[in-house]
Amino acid sequence: MWSLEASRRNAAGFVHTLSGRVGRAAAALAVAGLLAGCFQPLYGNRTLDGGPALNTALSGIDIAQIPAANGTPEARIAVELRNKLMFDLSGGNPSAPTHRLDIRMTSTRVSVIVDVETNRPDVENYGLTASYTLVDLQTGKPVVTDQTFARVSYDIPGQQQRFARQRALRDAEDRAAGVIAESIRNRLASYFVAGT
């Protein structure tokens, strides 16, 4: 008799728990259905309000030349960063410019691990910092002003391999420029989608 009563209580508790879970799941789905119209995909082909697609807005950004002294490593990095941004924003097909992007950049190199016997670095960090401003060409006013940075490390394979060290540094510079370009593109995309 006791076990029959306990079984009935357990069954009633199970049904109550199951109905509570089903109710919560139904409520969550209902809320998700109501809010589904409030979100806009970042890389969609058209906006919810009928405005221009994000790709169209990004392709209207004219990227100004990034200032760097001729013949310096920064000049090569400036060209690399600008090329990556041009491809990321317009895919190589820019439209009529609506905005201008001005970028200033600085770079650093820091030895992280130094060989105690030779006093030469084994691992170095390369840093690239970019300050940028997006200017609306129609009003001439800046609409986005921000800063981003990238820090990448690279190994120096052997102390006598100077070419390998230079190639590793160049690869680190290119990786840092790619990180900066992606960060700027994402920030500008969020501006065109959210307006802030």
DSSP structure string for 105-151: EEEEEEEEEE-TTT--EEEEEEEEEEEEEEEETTT--EEEEEEEEEE
Q: What is the largest CA-CA distance in the chain?
A: 94
- What average pLDDT does the structure give for the chain? 81
Q: Are 106 and 58 part of one and the same domain?
A: yes
Q: Which pTM was predicted?
A: 0.73
Please give the residue range of the domain that contains residue 79: 54-194
CA distance 78 to 159: 29
Q: How confident is the model at residue 192 (pLDDT cuts 50, 70, 90)?
A: confident
How many domains does the chain divide into?
Answer: 2
Per-residue pLDDT of 43-82, as tens digits, reads 555 555 555 677 888 999 999 999 999 988 899 999 999 9
Q: Are 167 and 103 part of one and the same domain?
A: yes
Q: Is 144 inside any structural domain?
A: yes
Of all helices (H) and strands (E), which one includes residue 99? strand 99-114
CA nearest neighbour of 60 among 86, 97, 31: 97
Q: Are 117 and 22 part of one and the same domain?
A: no
Per-residue pLDDT of 5-54, as tens digits, reads 655 555 555 555 556 677 677 777 766 666 555 555 555 555 555 556 77
